Structure 1
């Protein structure tokens, strides 16, 4: 006879955190979708013939954003416990692979470089954002509300993902 888990009630002390993790997870996945569509629709990218360089820069960003979104959704499901060991192994592997993906992307950008143009600026900014997202999730938390960002970022706090990896 299977034992049913008790339903989650409104008195669950982790419910606010679950809602936050759901918001973060879906937010990262929606951000990935927006980044996959919007930059590729810009007329100046086509005019600069920068599509290949743009995809070289978007690929690692999308990869990291989707990883982050999935992490938040998995972490939400497993609260208050850390993420499961098999999932932690995958994210430890991704922590090593992501810099290689970023480096490969950089090589692709250099090979497909569109020259001095508005597209080149966009490509550089997006690639730097991908690096910042990697650092934010796997090394030092960089993401805070605007009102407290300057004060908080200097604390160099450990990202939730890294803390989960240590606990798993």
Structure 2
């Protein structure tokens, strides 16, 4: 019998929801459905908000205030994804987002990953965390910034997270 893991289930289900919206938005990477892509941006940024502000914070508190081992890497990934979402969804930007999300989700979802660690540490607070997650409001997003320096900032952010945009 599978051990109860409502936080794991909540976040992995949200990953699948976000991936589905992303796939629908980028069916044609040269002609992105910008309405769907907007929905993807809001969904991913809201998901990151839930992880950073609620789940990871609760796990860190339950861990005596010490960050969990994967927390720094996941935070760098979140920063890279956030900076890429500011850019217009050109094919290269889309491919980098897809690549980072795939690698990132593995670190969270795999056995012994971040979600399992959070689930174990926050067992006593689980119901409160789930209630807090239900009350999270969507993250407002600004229009794309098409200035050339924005892509350069996103590339540097991806590099800090271990992803080389120009080699990809």
| TM-score interval for Structure 1 and Structure 2 normalised by the shorter chain | 0.3 to 0.5
Q: Which has the higher contact order (CA 8 A, sep 6+)?
A: 2
In the superposition, the TM-score normalised over structure 2's length comes to 0.36
